[in-house]
Structure 1
Amino acid sequence: MGRNLRSEERLRPIDLARAHGLSTQAVRNYEEAGILPVAVRTTHGYRTYTPLHARALSAFLALVPGHGHRAAAAIMRAVNEGATEEAFRLLDESHAQLLEDRRTLRAVEDALLDLEPDTRPSPPSATFIGPLAHQLGVRSATLRKWERAGLVRPRRDPRTGYRVFDEADVRDARLAHQLRRGGHPLARIAPLIAQVRSAGGLQPLEAALTDWRARLSARGRAMLAGAAELEAYLRARG
């Protein structure tokens, strides 16, 4: 099958581009990036492609929705270089990240089950920005950015001016961190956390989680579609 694909009709860059809704420059860029096998050149130096190149392009475009452009490109480069084990490892990494994102979503959902209005005064013990950043695995600058966006509202120590995070602030920071990992922008997270603070209802947050869950499912299905196209390309290569 691989020999037949390589020996069939030649395709011009414009043929490959039109069939996939791309520009000819994009096709050339994909070849130069190693996403496509190297094109055959005519005696005049013009690129010519084959159905094998078309199969490679279909595989790449199918991989992008589930794995992202960078990972999809790395997978195709590995395949075209004959490093199929490396391609499989990259695929496994994407699937592992999807599983981790599902676990994060479940953690957010579980955390929301116990959300109640917190009318207690701030406890005397406090957490400062450095230890909290270390606990979350982010930089202190990230927490300061979240503060500017309204995601966290630490008070200031009157003597030192240091930021002080009480129990509610830590909860907000954890929730912000989890939602950021889910791909939500700061502008969408801020009103959700404000809603949690006021405990006036969780409907906005539930809608965000529903959207997050739907995007994870779509990504998982896209991975299946990408795997089918990649397997077809691997078979075509022989």
Structure 2
Amino acid sequence: MPNPPEESLTTRGLAARVGYSVQQVRDLERLGVIPPAVRAANGYRQFGASHLTALRVYRAMAAALGPVPARALVPGLVAGTVAEAAERIDVLHAELAAERARVKEALRALDVALAEADEVFTAEDALSIGELAQALGVRPSALRHWEREGLVRPVRTPTTAASRTYGATAITEARIVAALRAGGYGIPAISVLIERVRARSGPAEVRDVLAARLADLTRRSVALLAAAGHVHDLLVDRTDAAPAD
């Protein structure tokens, strides 16, 4: 029994299926997010099931990653091989897992920094720039950069302006900055939070910021699982269409 003819959709009909505008569909076709449309004799675009599947993949990926990363990713899924598409999806899951691990480590580092800030601190406990960099797992140049940005305030030895000593406050600040940098935060955002920490109003807020980042990663992971169903449809269609060996 012959297969039923594939449904033909106009640009407007395809847009309506996924809740996009006609212009959005045209833009996504131009960017390679969906395959090129077939042109009818009258010049109008005609779309089919493969276009609808690709558009659903993009919509789901945009929910998981954001529109800009999705526009960069989906053309490769549409035009590449099945093996390439599967590898890219594996990388996405690994990237989310790695970022989640960094944020969790940032939360642990923040808790340690705040707990140790209350301990009795003597001059003998002060650290040099090399010692603190080693303790934080960063380069000394990172500590110098944070100092220039006003994030960390070491004490300068009077005998030489090049010598820095990190006391309790500076060590705590450096640990918080390292925690936030590990969580993916930029210098401007960290500067605001450090000022709040110095005003005794910020540690809980810093923790809330990192917790919110962790919650967003969970949301993205779940959204990526939802997208996987549409990606599966895309790859199965391509596998079915591939010639047998």
Q: Is the shorter-chain TM-score for this pair beyond 0.5, marking a shared fold? A: yes
2-side partners of 1:163 and 1:9: how far apart?
A: 74
> CA-to-partner distance for each residue in 1:43-93, whole Å, 9 max, x for gaps?
243322123211210111101232344553454323322412111221122
2:55 aligns to what?
A: 57
When Rg is computed on C-alpha atoms for both structures, the one with the higher figure is 2
8 Å CA contact 1:154–1:169 kept in 2: the answer is yes
Alignment match, 1:26: 24
Q: Secondary structure at the match of 2:35?
A: coil
CA deviations on 1:112-162 (whole Å, 9 max, x unpaired) are 33333265448665227xx78x95379759935x753x4333455667655
Taking the aligned partners of 2:95 and 2:208, their CA distance within structure 1 comes to 23
Asked if structure 1 preserves the Cα contact closer than 8 Å seen for 2:11 and 2:25, the reply is: yes
The equivalent of 1:100 in structure 2 is 98
Alpha-carbon contact 1:66-1:219 (below 8 Å) kept: yes
Name the CA shift for 1:30/1:201 in 2 (closer, same or farther; >3 Å): closer
Residue 203 and residue 235 in structure 1: after superposition, are their counterparts in 2 closer, same or farther (change >3 A)? same
Does the aligned pair in 2 maintain the 1:76–1:87 contact within 8 Å?
no
Percent identity of paired positions between Structure 1 and Structure 2:
30
The 1-side partners of 2:70 and 2:144 are apart by 29
* Structure 2 equivalent of residue 189 of structure 1: 190
1:91–1:104 distance in 2 versus 1, CA, 3 Å? same
CA distance in structure 2 between the aligned counterparts of 1:94 and 1:178, rounded to whole angstroms: 23
Question: What's the offset of the Cα at 1:208?
Answer: 2.1
Instruction: Note if contact 1:41-1:48 (Cα within 8 Å) is conserved in structure 2.
Output: yes
Alignment of 1:12 onto 2:10: yes
In the alignment, the residues of structure 2 paired with residue 161 and residue 215 of structure 1 have an alpha-carbon distance, to the nearest angstrom, of 44
Matched positions, count: 229
Alignment partner, residue 80 of structure 1: 78
Tell me the secondary structure at the aligned position of residue 113 of structure 1: helix
Report SS of the residue matched to 1:136: coil
> Do the aligned partners of 1:78 and 1:84 also contact (CA within 8 Å) in 2?
no
Q: How far apart are 1:189 and its partner, in Å?
A: 3.3
Provide the TM-score with structure 2 as the length reference. 0.72
Letter in 2 for 1:143: H
Cα distance change on mapping 1:11 and 1:105 into 2, 3 Å: same
Amino acid at match of 1:34: G
Gaps of 5+ in 2: 241-245
Counterpart of 2:166 in structure 1 is 166
For 1:226, the aligned partner's letter is: A
Question: Aligned partners of 1:62, 1:217: CA distance in 2, in Å?
Answer: 15
**CA RMSD across the alignment:** 3.7
Q: Which of 118, 133, 138 matches 1:136?
A: 138
The answer (yes or no) to whether the contact 1:63–1:226 under 8 Å persists in 2 is yes
* Bigger mean CA offset, 22-31 vs 94-103: 22-31
TM-score by length of 1: 0.74
Partners in 1 of 2:127 and 2:103 — Cα distance? Answer: 30
